[in-house]
């Protein structure tokens, strides 16, 4: 089962070098993501969205949220200044999760939203992402139009034409109220360790869990602007696993810096990844008659064991390119209600317009509480096949699809692996490297095939 993927736009074409990546504009704060860039992007976004009719008949309104990175303070000021100077009224939401910004864009009937975050990246990084009216991520075409209009001459409003800036004091409370209202049953009796990554979930996630009756032991819940994702959160599960075992907790949940993803560990401290979480949620939603078309949307990076498990349970898997925006696009086109990534971006479209780690965590815990089964037993529905990823650097990634030598090597590997394994070659969208991913029945076979193919990639694409 061979796949060769490339970085794609929403329309499926190969991407060109552009300011916007797969999840907004991201880079080293105050070097790459500067106050000047933030202000210019805000002005260009106001102009592009205005010309697309988003502001017909009323003064435009935007909401701005951020994670607790220190650089978010000056970037928030720059974005607010740019929007207000372009005639947009601004509501500052303060520190709260990315999905909360999407939700409040809808709840406050804003014309668009802005989130300042670099997700799971370290504290020195930051990023700027936009949500359109309705809390939806912008299409590639809209992002390209914003980028094209950076620093263009424009007529500046004066007097009553400039935007005003206000603060929303209860954004987190509104968001938590909404989340709690989506959960089908209470969590009484569950002891949970929560790792908020010293990020945007530090207040909202434990509040929601406690409202639903869970006993919560919080770690990574003291952000200081510099410690976000530092040895904690969904990219560093060791601390969470240790705390679950120390406290005899039923399970643990970890978010990333902006809380648009979540991963878990079971009562034994063993990791439970996004594929397993999606499988658990898919079966729960089907039982409740809420899994549209008995279908789950996942990326090509989903473990083959997940796909085998879903087929065994009579569910269909729709595959997309890597990136939650492509998962969401497929969900919207097909009317599907559940999708996500192995990394823990879980989208429950009947409740949210984007990946929401707190929402997914609450529904995962609700399934544990309702079933009376430990998370380890629920996660066992997916027998994950050993998966190996090797990055081959310094090669001509554009020749992945045209090399006869590489194609022959992949064909031989496919024969060796049979139906219980697969090969995926994925050129990086930002670096001169090719990612070689192999899944197989055993770790030894996966290692052997991956290293052999990496050697072929290195020589054939040199």
Per-residue pLDDT tens digits for 231-290 = 999 999 999 999 999 999 999 999 999 999 999 999 999 999 999 999 999 999 999 999
What angle in degrees, to the nearest 10, is found between the helix axes of 171-182 and 204-211?
40
Per-residue tokens: 104: 């409040």
Whether the domain at 174-379 and the domain at 387-460 fall into the same CATH topology: no
Q: Flag whether the pTM goes above 0.75.
A: yes
**How many CB atoms sit inside 10 A of residue 415's CB?**
8
Domain boundaries, the chain: 8-169, 174-379, 387-460
The reported pLDDT for the residue numbered 322 is 84
The reported pLDDT for the residue numbered 26 is 94
Letter string b/e over residues 310-324, b meaning 16 or more CB atoms within 10 A of that residue's CB: beeeebebbbbbbbb
| Nearby residues of 137 by Cβ (< 8 Å), 6 or more positions away | 129, 130, 131, 325, 328, 353, 354
Classify burial at 350, counting beta carbons within 10 Å of its beta carbon; exposed 0-12, middle 13-18, buried 19 or more. exposed
The reported pLDDT for the residue numbered 453 is 95
The CATH number of the domain covering residues in 8-169: 3.40.120.10
> Which residue ranges of the chain lie beneath pLDDT 70?
1-17, 50-57, 429-430
| pLDDT tens for each residue of 390-404 | 999 989 988 988 999
CATH classification (class only), 174-379: alpha beta
Q: Read off φ and ψ for residue 52, nearest 5 degrees.
A: -85, 10
250 alpha-carbon distance from chain centroid = 25
The reported pLDDT for the residue numbered 13 is 37
Active-site positions read 119
The reported pLDDT for the residue numbered 462 is 86
**How many CB atoms sit inside 10 A of residue 22's CB?**
20
- With tokens 């063993």, the residue in question is 270
The reported pLDDT for the residue numbered 115 is 98
Superfamily of structural domain 387-460: Alpha-D-phosphohexomutase, C-terminal domain (3.30.310.50)
What 3-state DSSP class applies to 168? Answer: coil
Cα gap 395→428, rounded to integer Å: 11
The reported pLDDT for the residue numbered 52 is 58
């Amino acid at each position: 089962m061979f796949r060769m993927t490339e970085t794609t736009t929403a329309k499926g074409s190969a991407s060109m070098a552009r300011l916007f990546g797969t999840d907004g504009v991201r880079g080293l704060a105050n070097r790459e993501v500067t106050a000047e860039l933030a202000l210019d992007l805000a002005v260009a976004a106001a102009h592009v969205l205005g010309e697309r009719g988003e502001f017909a008949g009323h003064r435009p309104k935007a909401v701005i949220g951020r994670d607790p990175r220190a650089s978010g303070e000056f970037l928030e000021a720059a974005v607010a200044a740019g929007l207000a100077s372009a005639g947009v009224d601004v509501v500052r939401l303060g520190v709260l999760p990315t999905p909360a910004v999407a939700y409040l864009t809808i709840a406050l009937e804003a014309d668009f939203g802005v989130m300042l975050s670099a997700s799971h990246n370290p504290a020195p990084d930051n990023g700027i992402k936009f949500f359109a009216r309705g809390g939806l991520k912008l299409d590639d075409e809209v992002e390209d139009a914003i980028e094209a209009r950076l620093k263009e001459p424009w007529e500046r409003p004066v007097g009553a034409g400039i935007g005003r800036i206000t603060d929303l004091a209860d954004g987190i409370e509104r968001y938590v109220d909404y989340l709690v209202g989506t959960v089908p049953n209470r969590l009484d009796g569950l002891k949970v360790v929560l790792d908020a990554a010293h990020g945007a979930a530090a207040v909202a996630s434990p509040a929601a869990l406690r409202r639903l009756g869970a006993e919560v032991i919080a770690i990574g819940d003291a952000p200081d602007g510099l410690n976000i994702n530092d040895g904690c959160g969904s990219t560093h599960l060791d601390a969470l696993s240790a705390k679950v075992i120390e406290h005899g907790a039923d399970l643990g949940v970890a978010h990333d810096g902006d809380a648009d993803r979540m991963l878990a560990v079971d009562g034994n401290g063993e990791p439970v990844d996004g594929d397993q979480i999606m499988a658990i949620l898919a079966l729960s939603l089907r039982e409740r008659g809420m899994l549209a078309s008995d279908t789950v949307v996942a990326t090509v990076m989903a473990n083959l064991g997940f796909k085998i498990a879903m087929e065994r349970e009579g569910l269909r898997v729709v595959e997309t390119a890597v990136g939650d925006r492509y998962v969401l696009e497929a969900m919207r086109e097909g009317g599907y209600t559940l999708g996500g990534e192995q990394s823990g971006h879980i989208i429950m479209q009947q409740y949210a317009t984007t990946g929401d780690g707190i929402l997914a965590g609450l529904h995962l815990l609700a399934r544990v509480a309702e079933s009376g089964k430990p998370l380890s037993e629920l996660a066992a529905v997916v027998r994950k096949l050993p998966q190996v990823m090797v990055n081959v650097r310094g090669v001509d990634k554009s020749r992945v699809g045209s090399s006869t030598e590489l194609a022959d090597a992949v064909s031989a590997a496919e024969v060796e692996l049979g139906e219980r394994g697969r090969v995926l070659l994925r050129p990086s969208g930002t670096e001169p490297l090719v990612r070689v991913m192999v899944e197989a029945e055993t770790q030894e076979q996966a290692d052997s095939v991956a290293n052999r193919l990496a050697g072929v990639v290195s020589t054939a694409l040199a």
